[in-house]
Amino acid sequence: MTFTETPLRGAFVIEPAPLEDARGLFVRTWCRREFEAHGLDIRIAQCSTSFNKKKGTLRGLHFQVPPFEETKLVRCTRGSIYDVVVDLRADSSTFTRFFAAVLTADNRKAMYVPAGFAHGFQTLEDDTEVLYQISEFYAPDHSRGVRWDDPVFAIPWPDDQRMISERDRRYQNFDPGTDTHR
């Protein structure tokens, strides 16, 4: 696997190295030793899948607050997504900056989302599926979100036609002085 750190310290794009032959391919997508060698959190408490029927489905920007902050490994297993991470760590030099990458079933890349980051994505085609490996158990009382279109982040989402849940539409713009991003 190739680990490429993004401009946001601690967030990585991880690209597998497939072994191919006439039958197809075999690829390792997670290895505790390789993740540890890069100083990454290797705990996995839950795995989840998000299936999205329509192109333009936008989910996010989501995170959990302490003591249940999550580290996530996000991979697109069917279709394609524009995957976004936002640094919400107040002590970080990249506080409120975002990074985005296209993850597809074909490129098999994954996004490593460290604790203290918000995460979201927009589907680039119909029938897209996303797999999450998550370090913490879901804690609804500690689940938060911020607006996908917050001007502080200025994320250039790829398509103007979007499907967004009512919950995600109700999120407030980011206010670094509060913990009320519900």
Backbone φ, ψ for residue 118 (5° rounding)? -90, 155
Mind telling me the catalytic residues? Answer: 62, 132
- Distance between CA atoms of 111 and 130, rounded to whole angstroms? 11
Are 121 and 59 contacting, i.e. CB atoms less than 8 angstroms apart? yes
CA angle 10, 73, 143 (to 5 degrees): 90
Structure tokens at 63: 């995170």
CA angle 158, 162, 163 (to 5 degrees): 140
- Distance between CA atoms of 103 and 1, rounded to whole angstroms? 15
Q: Which residue, among 20, 47, 23, 46, has the nearest Cα to 137 in the 3D structure?
A: 46
